[in-house]
Amino acid sequence: MTLIKTKHNRRSFLKVSAATSGGMLIGFNWLTRCTPAGEPKVAIPNEWFDINGYIKIGDTGMVTIFSPNPEIGQNVMTSMPMIVAEHLDVPWDHVVVEQGALDEDAFKNPQFAGGSLSIMLGWDALRMAGAAGKRMLMEAAAKEWGVGIDAVTAADGIVSEKEGEQRTIGYGAIAAKAVGIEVPEELELKEPKDYKLIGTPQKNVEGPKIVTGKPLFGLDFKREGMKLAMIEHAPSFGMKPVSFNEEEIKAMDGVTDAFIVDTTTEDPIWAETNAFHQLVTVIGESTWQLMQAKKALKVNWERVSDPENTVEHETKLREALQAGKLEEGGRVDGDPEAAFANATKVVERTYSSPFMAHNTLEPMNFFAHVTDEKAELIGPTQTPKALEDTVSKLLDMPVEDITVNMTRQGGGFGRRLYVHFGVEAAAISKKAGVPIKLIYSREDDMTQGTFRPTYRSTYKAGLDENNNLVAFSVRGAGIPESPVFPNRFPAGTVENYAAEKINVATNISTGAWRAPRSHFTAGAEQSFLDEVAQAAGKDPIDFRLELFDRAKNNPVGEEYEYDAERYAGVLEMVKEKANWGVETPGVYRGVAAYFCHNSYVAQVMDIEMERDKPVVKKVWCAVDCGILINPEGAKNIIQGGVVDGIGHAMYSQLTFNDGTPDQKNFDRYQLIRNSQAPKEIEVFFVDSEVSPTGLGEPGLPPAVGALANALYQATGKRYYHGPFATADQDQQDVELI
């Protein structure tokens, strides 16, 4: 039996906070966010009853579930409400889903989309919300019938009397009487074996609106009396605007105002990362007119720090690897230096990857309406709370007077963890004295910064005369942060082990990019291990499994950050599913496995050469994310991760000249296209009753390694440097040995 505490921060789960999501909706119904989970089988209610922060029930039995977290395409708007519905025990086709507003007190859950954490961190609160609601409905019915709570049960949206008269009542008919009922301090939760909804494939609840072009996204938001705003940030990092041709711009058609806005705040937190705090702003009636105004801008820019370029970045990374200062938090087991000296074979390879942009297809944007009394913010953000806090600081306004509503978001990938565009919207609305929607052009978006850092790591392995891995080291440098995770695999599996981190400073702003650091490290480490396995004359999967045996039976060092059993489990699963070891003429295979963001993913990738070009024919994925909530959405996001991993490893890069990104739009920044994607991606999940973990990121990193390894089989060439399609692969910091 699983019991769960119903108190959270000393407050009962029952408590419906003053600003329940239901209340917020009144101002938010422009989006018609009421999205039926399936074809609704119940009539539209006349009256709704608030059960708790997640649930309101209509008199017809229709149930509204508020999805707490930002929806950036990871499909939490379907999977999170599924967990609530399962524990409320209501049929999915009685459910409509609405995006909840920012109200962490009502949701008892951190409302952010990052680190693939939504499901993992929400698991308790979501189950509790459903179970508490069910308990309240049961109590209300028991009271109505004059029987004890033990005499009733509830399932499929109906409360039933177990014996006696065996009366039944629908959730809709009893909901009014359930409002305000106290729930006990502990509640019994369903066991996984009893799940009816969790683990069944359910379609994206917003699918019907997406395919018919309904206004869902931040860029689609419109409010009566609202103006549009666009900004111009400095063309080069390390610059800011001093003045511009203000009068000329203000005289242009459709321009109602123009000024320089400053969004500098005291003691910025990580989510406030931003290289451009002073922005030339134009305000007007239509996007096209504002785009013309931007073109007509003549700005005097002042240089405040030195411009950087890509050649210099590459040199700095090379120098850092040779002589850079090691950061705290590295790891040493045994005596790597002696072990390398005594090794029979030593393999040393250097890997690198350039800066990248996030390029969410919906560019940054936000609506803000700031008055002296309050601020209202609506738009796409992965961190609504950090946005609220920062706007509070910027405007010197208490958070109680600020509301943040989330729209559906046209991609996240980490880009919308950073709050500058919402803060800019607030600053602009305040200065202009009107409600505004700030819109970034693609060029503004791609050149603004918050880029994925650039990395360079050197891996070294020593094998003894029996081809056992006796020494392993990684030294990784990044601008501005090292990509090395010292306690991840293969830590714990090698007697003599070293992991070293080196950071290199920059004035280019960087940020988390889908599976931060893991996307690079997985590619480097997994292709390095492929080469080491080859040097050892071992099958690459067997080679890894041997290492996991060591971690399972006799781990090296005090700690390591993975479950060797589960890690080996996905490799064994993919080995079986892909028929690993069976050679097919003309088919070249690569394998990789990686653990990050609490989930395990192994992949086998098949490449065939067509007209001398490698084509990814099929990818097999084995995934262990604990309990699987929605297999349909889960498969989709893993498939997307594979495509994203291949795309960015093969084609994407951002380079700099004189502090300015060379790539400003999709004509020069290459993203993977339909014809370049794998022809088939099959996804398998480990059957598990372990608490669920996320999938937004873990599908991507192993794809980079599997790709490099399959490419090697297909072309005889190892791929060390991104983007694989164009980078010089012969650059090594030492002679290849």
Footprint of other proteins (CB under 8 A): 71-75, 203-204, 206-208, 210-217, 219-220, 222, 228, 253, 285-289, 291, 359-363, 408-413, 441-442, 632-633, 636-637, 639-644, 647, 665-667, 671-681
Q: Which is nearer to other proteins, 408 or 519 (CB)?
A: 408
How many whole angstroms separate alpha carbon 462 and alpha carbon 347? 7
Taking the complex as a whole, the smallest distance from the CB of residue 637 to other proteins amounts, in Å, to: 7
User: Would you say the C-alpha torsion 548, 552, 558, 559 has a positive or negative sign?
Assistant: positive
**Residue given tokens 């997994």 in the structure block:** 526
- Between CA 135 and CA 696 the distance in angstroms is 33
Helix/strand number for the chain, H first, E second: 18, 32
CB of 32 to other proteins, least distance (A): 13
Provide the minimum distance between the beta carbon of 411 and other proteins in the complex, in angstroms, as a whole number: 5
Nearer to other proteins, 290 or 547 (CB): 290
Shortest distance in whole angstroms from residue 45 CB to other proteins: 24
Strand partners, 96: 36, 64
φ/ψ of residue 68, rounded to 5: -75, -35
Q: How far is the CB of 644 from other proteins (least distance, A)?
A: 5
Give the residue with the Cβ less far from other proteins, 356 or 397. 356
Q: For residues 228 and 479, which CB has a smaller minimum distance to other proteins in the complex?
A: 228
Which CB sits closer to other proteins, 144 or 220? 220
**CB of residue 74 to other proteins, shortest distance in Å:** 7
Please name the residue ranges forming H helices in 283-438. Answer: 287-295, 310-323, 336-342, 384-395, 420-432
Query: Residue 590: beta bridge partners?
Result: 605
- Terminal CA-to-CA distance of the chain, rounded, Å? 57
Residue 496: φ, ψ to 5°: -120, 115
d(CA 252, CA 136): 61
CB 226 → other proteins: shortest distance, Å?
A: 11
Sequence length of the chain is 737
Write 261-267 long-range contacts (CB < 8 A, 24+): 261/231, 261/424, 261/427, 261/428, 261/431, 262/427, 263/394, 263/420, 263/423, 263/424, 263/427, 265/390, 265/393, 265/394, 265/423, 266/393
CB-nearer residue toward other proteins: 275 or 439: 439
- Work out how close the CB of 409 gets to other proteins at its nearest, in angstroms, rounded to a whole number: 6
Percent of residues in the chain assigned helix, strand, coil, to nearest 5: 35, 25, 40
What is the full DSSP assignment across 564-582? Answer: HHHHHHHHHHHHHHTTTT-
Is 228 or 499 the residue whose CB approaches other proteins more closely?
228
Nearest to 699 by CA among 614, 605, 562: 605
Q: Nearer to other proteins by C-beta: 177 or 203?
A: 203
For residue 293, the minimal CB distance to other proteins (Å) is 12
Phi, psi of 357 (to 5 degrees): -100, 160
User: What are the C-alpha distances in Å from 374 to residues 266, 370, 387, 390?
Assistant: 21, 6, 15, 14
Residue (19 or 34) nearer to other proteins, CB: 34
Decide whether 526 or 636 has the Cβ nearer to other proteins: 636
Shortest distance in whole angstroms from residue 443 CB to other proteins: 8
Burial of 427 (0-12, 13-18, 19+ CB in 10 A): buried
- Considering the complex, state which of residue 61 and residue 380 has its C-beta at the smaller distance from other proteins: 380
We find the least distance from the C-beta atom of residue 191 to other proteins, in angstroms, to be 28
